[in-house]
Structure 1
Amino acid sequence: MNLARGVEVLRAFSAQNALLGNREISVITGLPKATVSRLTYTLTLLGLLDRETESQKFRLAAGILSLGHPFLASMQVRQLARPLMVELARRSGCTVNLGMRDRANVVYIDSIRPDAGNAHLPDIGATYPLMASAMGRALIFSAPEQERKTMLNFLRVHNSEMFATFKGALEKDRKLWDKHRYCHNAGDWRSEIHAVAVPIRPPGLAAPALAMNCTLYAHRDALERLPKEVVPMLKDAVRQLEAAQGLL
């Protein structure tokens, strides 16, 4: 139980909430403030949180990186995908990301970012809502039927408001997926961000499901350019990645 609560405290931090006090963590997690105080004290001793002297608030510490590195280093697909992502970014002018599911979110495990004007600065470890993102919806629709149903039920219970908000976009993308095998976020979550995404077949039952996307930030031609020009390049990059893993 304490381990689970400690993880919830760590998950309270994000790029938008990089510095948090015990009271703020309590509000985000729903844990009692006294419990949060004990947990932040222990997590600081373990090197997973740092406490800022002036504000007495906490931020994630370098120990978090040491926990994540073995996981990322063990994923050979990242090494296979990177040159393909670099070339795709060069040809398309898009930011190209590789990601997987983390509960109700998509988490990026690699990112090639040629667009310096992208104010959201996608990077390794960045998370986005599963239902609201093209990559998330590609992961949903490409999952086996029973897993897809379980995933959607979880999302419905986890955040009913978000589920209701993006239900229409999900259904629209389902039809696109059935016909063309890709998903398209046409500014559904953030009006300035458009993205297309394609799932990647896993090399085995134990391998995590992955997807690759191409995003354009505040681009006036994104609505037409992504489906017509970028999707064929994205699908080709995914085919090359699957071939490199011996799947074709």
Structure 2
Amino acid sequence: MTPGPSAAPEPPDGVLARAVRILSAFDTRSTALTVSELSRRSGLPLSTTSRMVAELVRHDLLARTDDGRRIRVGVRLWELGSRAAPTRGLREAALPFMEDLHTVVRHHVQLGVLEGHDVLFVERLSARNAVINVTEVAGRLPLHASSSGLVLLAHADTEVQAMVLAGPLRPYTADTITSPDRLRVHLAEIRRTGFVHTPGHIRPAAAGVAVPVRDDRDRVIAALGVVVPNDDTAVRVVPALRAAAQGIQRTMTTPDRA
């Protein structure tokens, strides 16, 4: 008897690894995807993706949109992530100071942490008529491109710095730093001055200004930044940024948070 056509071989990943690949297919701009899109983005066979999605939906980690055609992240996954988020204490400490800073700048105030070779934005305050800004909560940018990323890169381990300097350094505008030698000099300047100003590095009309946020051991744990119009007034916010960062540090090291 001639055997029929065999099914496509299962990928060697374990069940958990496959689930992670499916969950990682979502991003801040693609919050609802079809099963076919999830299959393509995750690199898993359609049959495997369909089966995994059904299981994740059953456990409320994923959910179907009202029309049933697309899949989105489930509320339970958000709930579990919020409980265990390592940045929760940092965000809670930072938010009052970010709100005060926001009343001064009236544009964007954001808090970023180092995640791999990116800056991951864990909080952001904005305003209706604020200057254009590409960052979003839970969004990422390369370390070399944004003000927050440059602050974190300047204080990162030498291994991280070496890998970023090795490139590629993606240009967003003509002002984005894409030369390793120039970037190396810029990082030294950030460590010397304690802040960074990035006029037009991601969008020509916008400027980023950021300072480090430190813990009680003087380690840089985050970057506090603003995105404001790209004009001569941008750097005037540096004293307010520094005061807010110092306030966050004091709050993080009080006895009830230590």
Q: Which bracket does the TM-score occupy, shorter chain normalised?
A: 0.7 to 0.9
TM-score (norm 1): 0.77
Q: Which has the larger radius of gyration?
A: 2
> Structure 2: how far apart are the matches of 1:73 and 1:152?
24
For 1:235, the equivalent position in structure 2 comes to: 242
For 1:183, the equivalent position in structure 2 comes to: 196
For 1:211, the equivalent position in structure 2 comes to: 223
Identity %: 24
> Structure 1: how far apart are the matches of 2:169 and 2:44?
22
Is residue 7 from structure 1 mapped to residue 7 from structure 2 by the alignment? no
What do you get for the CA RMSD once the two structures are aligned? 3.3
> Structure 2: how far apart are the matches of 1:200 and 1:74?
13
> Structure 2: how far apart are the matches of 1:53 and 1:79?
33
Q: Which 10-residue stretch deviates more, 119-128 or 160-169?
A: 160-169
Is residue 152 from structure 1 mapped to residue 160 from structure 2 by the alignment? no
| 1:117-128 → structure 2 map (5 Å cutoff) | 117=130, 124-128=137-141
Give the drift of 1:90: 0.9
Instruction: Provide the aligned length of Structure 1 versus Structure 2.
Output: 236
**Secondary structure at 1:97 match in 2:** strand
Q: Which runs of 5+ in 2 are unaligned?
A: 1-13
Residue deviations 1:4-59 (CA, integer Å, cap 9, x gap): 23222212212321221222223333333333223222221221211235362211
Structure 1 pair 171/94, CA: closer, same or farther in 2 (3 Å)? farther
Structure 1 pair 130/147, CA: closer, same or farther in 2 (3 Å)? closer
Contact 2:106 2:130 in 1 (8 A): no
For 1:68, the equivalent position in structure 2 comes to: 81
> Structure 2: how far apart are the matches of 1:79 and 1:188?
29
Is residue 77 from structure 1 mapped to residue 85 from structure 2 by the alignment? no
The structure in which a higher percent of residues are helix is: 1
Residue deviations 1:76-122 (CA, integer Å, cap 9, x gap): 33232222111111122232111213334322222222344456585
> Structure 2: how far apart are the matches of 1:199 and 1:115?
27
**Secondary structure at 1:189 match in 2:** coil
Residue of 209, 226, 229 corresponding to 2:234: 226
Contact 1:88 1:233 in 2 (8 A): yes
Residue of 139, 144, 150 corresponding to 2:152: 139
